[in-house]
Structures are given as C-alpha cells and as structure tokens.
A and B are shown apart, each in its own frame.
Chain A
Amino acid sequence: MTLKNGDVPLLKTIDDIIDRAREISYGSEPYCLAIAAAHDIAAVEAAILCQKEGIARCMLFGKSKKIKSLLEEQGATPSEFEIVSTRSDKESADGVAMAASEGKANVILKGIISTSVLLRQILNKDYGLRRRGLLSHTAILSMSNYPKLLSLTDGGMVIKPTFDQKVEIIRNSVMVSRAVGVEVPRVAALSPIDYIVQAFPDTFEAAALSKMAERGQIENCIVDGPMSLDTAVWPPAVAYQKIKSPVAGQADILLTNSIEEGNILAKSLIQFSEAKFAGVIVGARIPIALVSRADDAYNKLASVALSVVVAHFIRK
C-alpha cells in the first residue's frame, strides 16, 4: 500500500491527537467506534467519553442489559448509544468485524474479551479485513522532557519478534508515525549498547534493519541501530559518544526486542515521567484500540483518538 502524506498536520502532543481526531470526526460523517464485549466499566467509560468529546460515535456489542446499567451508573443515557446485544464473546467479535467490513465501523475497541478471540474474527478471511502483514502494537507517548511524540513498539502484542516480524513491526509503526504527521520517522533499533557484539544477537538484527532501510527495503523511514536508549533520545549521551547518526538524540520510534522490553520501558516513562500515552494495534485494514482497566479516562480517550487518526490516514 502506498500512502500519500499530503496534508497530514504534524501532531506534537497527545492533546493534538485528540483535537485532530475531533476535527476528523467533525465534518460530514462522524467516525464510528465498534466496541467488542462492551459490558465492562473501562469500555463503557471510553464510549461515553468518545461521544461526549466528539471523537467517534459508538456501537457497543455485548450483554445489552449490563451495558445499559453501566451506562446509567455513569450518568449517561443508553438511548444515545447504539447497543447490539450478543450472547457470547465470539458473537461480539463477529459483530464488530462485520460492522467494520461493511464500512459501518471505522475503528475497533477491545472490551472485556481476550485479544486472541477478537483477532481471530477480525482476521477471518470472510470479512476482508486482513492484510498481508503482521499485527503489532504501537504506543505513542508524550512527556515534558522530550520535544516531540515518541513511539514505542512492540510492548503489547508480539512477544518475541523474529527478524522478519521486526521489519513488519517497523512498517506498522512508521505508518502510525506518518498518520500523526511525521513524514519520515527516525527509528532507533534499541539494544543495550551502540556496537555490534556477538553476545547480543539483537545487535546483528538492528544493524541489518538499518541497512535494509538504507537500501529502501523498509520505506518512508530512517532506521539506525544498534542504539542504546540514551543515544536514541538523550542528546548529552550523543555528544559524549560522538556517534554520527540521523536518529541519535531525536528518535521518533523506538523498536524493542521483546514485549517485556517494550512494556516495561513504556510503563517506566508513564510511571516515573508522567508520560501521557495512546496505544493502537495496526496491521489489519482497520485499527484496533486497546485500553487497560488501569488506564485513566484521558488515556482511554487518547487511544481511541489515535485509532481514528490512523483510520483516517489509511483511508486516504
């Protein structure tokens, strides 16, 4: 798929992403969010916020009675939401996949349903939502001591990516970065050190990934690695190391080597640096937002907003 970046504005904060989603959904027809297994407080909260903030209209699939009572508990009017009653998680997943495939829904939010059940239906050939590539997770963080948005991948989906999967993960994340207006994102393939050493096979892969991008095998981005975190995002470390790299000190995307690395790094920045964040699964024809029970309302909204921005970008 070739994507034209044309008129995508550069977004610098999570607030910008939310504003941009509102703008996209404002025009002729609001974007529609389909929630799979919405009978859960986190999902219902997200739905209420999305409609209130004008990010997306919501279709809630799941146990309708529970959904209605949760909506009422939160002070919302159930009739303002489209609720589709389903008897099982699989039926909910089928429902959202069908809605997406018919073009009724533009983004999907995972409710209280296991990721594998949801993805199995979304990737079912019958719905035509599948693309050739891999599904992977990108988290976008915004924090006071970094001057731009920072993407982290993959701390939520692929447990231990193979080399080929890393290529796909970069492609997916580059797409997300381009959707938030970074025309040629700078990707750092992380490792504990900046050199290629045998003790860390990840450093070989990082080196090969950089070269692949240089040869045009991974498009629309600059990849450099192996690179340690400080070199990637901390200008004083770059000065000290005297590393010459178009990525060092100004990375847009950080590629980690395992779900633990990605997850723990993201959570470190969220917990200790009060980073705001949004997360999305891309790789299918439709983006899937993931929110956790522990996320606050703002971050739930942010994840759906990011999905809307990505959906808009894919559509163009």
Chain B
Amino acid sequence: MKIQIQKPIRSLDEILALAEKLVKQHGPYRVVLSGGSDAVCVGALNLAKNKGFVKPILVGHRRRIDNTFDKLSLSQDGWEINEDKDPRNATINCAKGLLNGDADILMRGKLMARDFIKALLDPELRLKNRGTLWTNIVVVDNPKINRLLLINDCGIIVNADLPMRLRQITKVIEFASFLGIEDVKIALLAAVESISPGMPVSMEEAVISKMCERGQFPEGVAIDGPLSLDLAISPKAVKKKGFKGNVAGNADALVVNNLGIGNLLFKSLITLCGSSSASTVVGLPFPVIFTSRSESPENILYSIAMAILQAGPKAYNLK
C-alpha cells in the first residue's frame, strides 16, 4: 500500500508530522540496523523509539553493540539484538528478513556504503536485475529556501554517463511525485551554464534538456542544464545574469553526474550550511535509510520518518 500525498511537502518537519500520523494508525515500524554498533544510528533509533516511531532491531557484533549502549548510557529494554559478526552476512540476513516481512525498513549502520550495497547485490537475494536502478536521493531542508531540495546522487553511483543519468532522473521524478511535488523542476548541475566540448558534462546536460523540451519526459516536468548552482537555486543570481529558463532560480531537484560532486554538495549543506536532511536509496522493494556519519541523531530522525512514509500503511500492523 502506498500513501498518497496530495499537497507538495515543503519541509522535513512536515515529513515528521506525516510519519507521526502513520504511526498513530499503524503502530511502530520495525527498523533493522545492519552494523548495529553505530553510535549515531543507535542514538537516532533511540529518539525514534521514544517517540513511538520504531521497534528497533540491531544486527552486528554483540560486544560492540553492548559497548555502544554503555557509552550512550542506554538500556537494552525494547531493543531486539541479533548477533552476526560478519557485516556482509548480517546485511544479507537483514534483507532476507525484510523480504519475509519480518521488518519494514532497512538501515545502514557501521559498515562502508560500498560494502552495504555489495551485500545487497548478493545473487541469492535477487534484489537487482537488469532493469532496476538503485540510486541515492537526499532531501535537504535549508532555512534559506522555502521548499525541499532533492539531490541525486550523493553516495552510490560513482560516475553516471548519459543513459544512467536518464534513469536517475526518472527515479528523481518518481520520488518528487511521492513527496507531492508534481511539476518538478530539475537542474543538471555543472560549473558554468555555457556548453563547451571541453567539458563533456555540459554536452550531456544540454542533450538531456533538449530531450525534455521535446517532451521525452513526463508532462509538467522541467529539466534544464548545464546550470551552475547559483543559477539553479537563486532568483537573485538569475536576475543579475539576465538568465532565461524554466528551472533557473526555482529548482526542486539538483542532479549531478558524479558522486564526488554530490557528496561535497550534500556534506557542505549539512556541515557548514546548517541544513537538515533525509537520505534514502530508491529502487529496492523496501525503504532504505542511508545516512552519513556527519549527521546528528536528530537529523537521522528525519530519514527514519521519511522511510516510514515510504513504507506506508502496513497490513501486518492492522491486525
């Protein structure tokens, strides 16, 4: 079952409020944390548990998990803890549990993003075939902007070529629509707005914009690039440069062509720019919470809330 969001969500606090509503109707969601000794994730789950959002399940190295609880001075009451010392195995077992309906949401804890994704690619799980694309979407809430900004991809796809970017954009459009943002405006980021063969990215982005102009994307969607970041989001910069375009100054989503850029953009926003964020991986049959270690537990709570929205009303909870 999917929840229907009518009006565009404009802040992460709205996501929190919607999650609260779902939890009121359906009870707490079962979140399974692979790499269960991660202190920040456990801290975040504790916040969510106290709000009645989640029933946490930790999988990992038992002694290290105990240490984490000691360090945070938390009691293990109400926490399900399963020992599995091998992080790869643990992740695979977590995924199996999700597929069996033993949990609702998967969360990455103390293991590297690459290893986490690699484990999920295990053929036994049959999570990924040729047609599926897994990509990371971060939803950013910054006090300077009166709407949510989607950034793709900050953590999974290392280098995207043109076909890959088209698939990513499709995922972004879907996710924006899930957040109630229908006529999404997508900026393809680059260093400058001019197209030059010396910067191959700018050529690709010009092609994608043209495809959108020709109606090769869903109706209502606007895509423009190459755009520099200031032109994408700042109406002031657009005015000063006298720039014309249907995305410039008002972008809802920023799509980058490599992880280096996405990662820097995301990390600058949550460290030096005072933003909040919620982060996920889309393309899997269950919601995935995919956070960065530079986040605080309070910030991760937003990712948990967003995953609850993605999970939607669950049948088992209706019993």
Contact = CB atoms under 8 A, between A and B. Distances in A.
Contacts of B192: 263
Contacts of B259: 192
B269 interface: yes
B198 interface: yes
Contact of A273 (B39, B241, B274, B296): B274
A234 to B, nearest CB: 4
Given A193-B112, A269-B272, 10 more contacts: A190-B264, A192-B155, A199-B114, A230-B293, A233-B272, A237-B271, A263-B192, A263-B229, A267-B228, A273-B268
B260 A261 contact: yes
Contacts of B293: 230, 237, 240-241
Nearest to B155: A192
Contact of A233 (B189, B237, B271): B271
B160 to A, nearest CB: 12
A265 B271 CA distance: 12
B114 A260 contact: no
A3 interface: no
A273 B261 CA distance: 18
Contacts of B144: 271-272, 274
Interface in A178-235: 190-193, 195, 197, 199-200, 202, 228-230, 233-234
B10 interface: no
Interface in A243-279: 256-265, 267-274
B241 A159 contact: no
Interface in B279-314: 292-294, 296
Interface residues of B, number: 46
A233 B256 CA distance: 22
A52 interface: no
A143 interface: yes
Contact of A260 (B39, B155, B191, B292): B191
Contacts of B260: 190-192, 200, 202, 256-258, 261
B211 interface: no
A133 interface: no
Contacts of A294: 230, 237, 240-241
* A-B complex: 3 closest residue pairs judged by Cβ atoms: A230-B294, A263-B191, A267-B229
